[in-house]
A and B are shown apart, each in its own frame.
Chain A
Amino acid sequence: MNFPVQELLKLAAKGGFVLGFVAVSAMFLIWLERKVSAWIQNRKGPMMTGPQGAFQSVADTVKLLLKENIVPSGADFFIWWLAPFFVAIPAVMAFVCMPFGPHHIVYDLNVGILYICSITSVSVLGIFMAGWGSNNKYSLLGGMRSAAQIISYEVPLLLSVLVVVMEAGTVSMQGIVHAQEPGWFILKPNVMVAFLIYLISATAEVNRVPFDIPEAESELVAGYHTEYSGMKFAMFFVAEYTNFFIISATTATLFFGGWLGPWAPSPVWFLLKAYGIVFFLMWVRWTLPRLRMDQMMTFAWKVLTPLALVNVLVTGWFLVRKG
C-alpha cells in the first residue's frame, strides 16, 4: 500500500493552522468582549498594554502560565485533572468541517452539521466532571445546572438545525452552503423562526447571558471552574470562547450563506459574518439581565421545543407540496 505522505502533511498543516486560529481567535474574542462591554457601559476597558489594550490577552496568557496550580483538598484528582481536556478538545475537533471557503475546509465530512452538534455537546461531560471533581459546593451546583441547561437546549437546537437540513436536503456543511446559492436560508419565513430558536438555544449552550445561570458570578462565584487556576482555568476560558466562535460560525453557515458573497474572497465573507454574529451576541450579553433557573428550563421545554416541532412539520408540509 502506498503511504499517503503528501496528504498527511497537508492535514498536519491544516491542523497547525486551526490550532493557531483557535488560540488567536480566543484571545481576540476575549479582548473584543472587554472592549465591547466597556463601550456599552461607557468605560474604556483595557488600555495599558499596546494600542487600545490590544495585547491584554497576551499578557493574561503569560500571567496564567506563571500561576500556581492549586489542587483543592478532597478533589477527585483524576476527574478534576481530566475535565479541561474534555472541555477543550471538542472545541478543537469541531473545526474539522468548518467551511471557511469553497476549498478552505479541513475535510467536508458527509455528516457535517450532525458531527459539529454532537462533538460540541461532549463538552457537557467535561463541565460536569469539573463540577463533580472539585469538591466545592459552588462547582457542583454550577456543573449540575450547566448540564441540565445544555441538554435541555440541545433539543430545540437540533430541531431548528433539522429545518435547515430539510431545506438543503443534505447534512454536509459545504452542501448546505451550496444550497444557499439562490438565496440565504434566513430569507425564508420558516427558517427565520428556526434561526431565532437556534440563536437562543446556542446562546444557552455556551452559557452566555441571559442564560449564564451556571456561572452566575454573583451567586455561584464562577460555577464549575471555581477551583481551577492557572492554565487549567485558561483552558476553560479558551474553550468557552472557541465554542462561542463555533456557534457563531455555524449560524453564519446555516442561515447566512456561509462563505457566499460577492467581490471579496470567501474566507473574508465567512469571518465577517461569523464575527458579526459574535458582536451581536456580545451586545445581547451586555444588555439583557440574567434569567432564573426555572424560567430558563420552562422556556426550553414549554416554548422552544413545541415551537420547533411545529416548525419542522410546517416546513415539511410546504416542501412536500412544492416538491
Chain B
Amino acid sequence: MLPDYIHITFFWLLGVIFVGAAFAVSWFIRPKAPSAVKCAPYECGEIVQGDSRVQFNIRFYLFALIFVIFDVEILFTIPWAVDFQQMGMTAYLEMVVFMLILAVGLAYAWKKGALEWQ
C-alpha cells in the first residue's frame, strides 16, 4: 500500500502541472505588446488616484479573530463527534459545557458590537 500522503502530494503536483502547463502554453502563443496605458490599473477609465493599498476597516480583523476561535473549537469537536456515542452521557455533557463557554464568548462579542458592520 502507498502511504496516505503520497496521494495528496501527487494531487498537489498535478495541480501545479495543470496551472503551469496552461500558463506555459499561453506564454508561447500569446501576443506580447505591453504599453504604459494598457498596464495602468483599471479604474473605469479614470486616471489612477493614489496608491490602492489603503488602510482598512478594523472590522475585518475582528471577524478574523472570532473566526480563529470558532475554527479551532470545531477542530476539537470533530474527534468527539466521531466517538461520542460510545462514550455516552458524560462525553455529551462535557461538550455541552465546552459549547456553552463558546456561546458565552459569542454573546460577549455580540454585545460588545464586534459583530456589527458599519
Q: Which residues of A contact B (CB under 8 A)?
A: 4, 7-8, 11-12, 15, 18-19, 22, 64-74, 84-85, 88-93, 95-96, 106-107, 109-110, 114-115, 132, 134-140, 144, 147-148, 151-152, 154-155, 158-159, 162, 165-166, 169-171, 221, 226-227, 230-232, 234-235, 293-294, 297-298, 301-302, 305-306, 309, 312-313, 316-317, 319-320, 323
Interface residues of B in 6-58 (CB under 8 A from A): 6-8, 10-12, 14-16, 18-19, 22-23, 25-27, 29-34, 36, 38-44, 51-54, 56
Q: What is the size category of the interface that chain B forms with chain A?
A: 35 or more
Q: Which of B30, B82, B86, B92 contacts A66 (CB 8 A)?
A: B30
Q: For the complex, what is the distance from the CA of A136 to the CA of B46, rounded to whole Å? A: 12
Please indicate the chain B residues that have their CB under 8 angstroms from the CB of A95 in the complex: 11
Q: Which residues of B lie under 8 Å from residue A88 when comparing CB positions?
A: 15, 18-19
Chain B residues whose C-beta falls within 8 Å of the C-beta of A93 in the assembled complex:
8, 11-12, 15
| 10 closest residue pairs by CB, A with B | A89-B15, A294-B117, A92-B15, A231-B26, A107-B7, A151-B67, A136-B41, A323-B85, A165-B81, A166-B81
A165:B78 contact, CB within 8 angstroms: yes
Contact assessment for A15 and B10 in the assembled complex, using a CB-CB cutoff below 8 Å: yes
Which partner residue on chain B sits nearest A231 by CB separation? B26
A147 touches B60 (CB 8 A): yes
A96 and B2 alpha carbons, distance in the complex (Å)? 14
What does DSSP make chain B's interface, helix, strand, loop or mixed? Answer: helix
Nearest residue, chain B, Cβ from A82: B19
Contact: B30 with A7, CB < 8 Å?
no
Contact flag A18-B85 (CB < 8 Å), given A68-B30, A71-B34: no
Grouping DSSP codes into helix (H, G, I), strand (E, B) and loop, the A interface class, with mixed when no group exceeds half, is helix
Alpha-carbon separation in the docked complex, A227 to B39 (Å): 9
What residue in chain A is nearest B13 (Cβ atoms)? Answer: A15
Question: Smallest distance from the beta carbon of B12 to chain A beta carbons, Å?
Answer: 6
Which residue of the partner chain, among A7, A15, A148, A159, contacts B14 with CB atoms under 8 Å?
Answer: A15
Q: Could you show 6 A-B contacts with beta carbons less than 8 Å apart?
A: A19-B18, A109-B7, A135-B53, A232-B23, A306-B103, A320-B89
A154 CB contact (under 8 Å) in B14, B22, B32, B71: B71
Instruction: Verify A11–B2 contact, CB threshold 8 A.
Output: yes
Q: B42 contacts A227, CB within 8 Å?
A: yes
A313 lies within 8 A of B99 (CB): yes
Contacts of A74 in B (CB 8 A): 41, 51-52
Assess whether B81 is in contact with A155, with CB atoms less than 8 Å apart: no
CA A136 to CA B56, docked complex, whole Å:
14
Known: A165-B82, A316-B92. A4 touches B2 (CB 8 A): yes
A18 to B44, CA, bound (A): 39
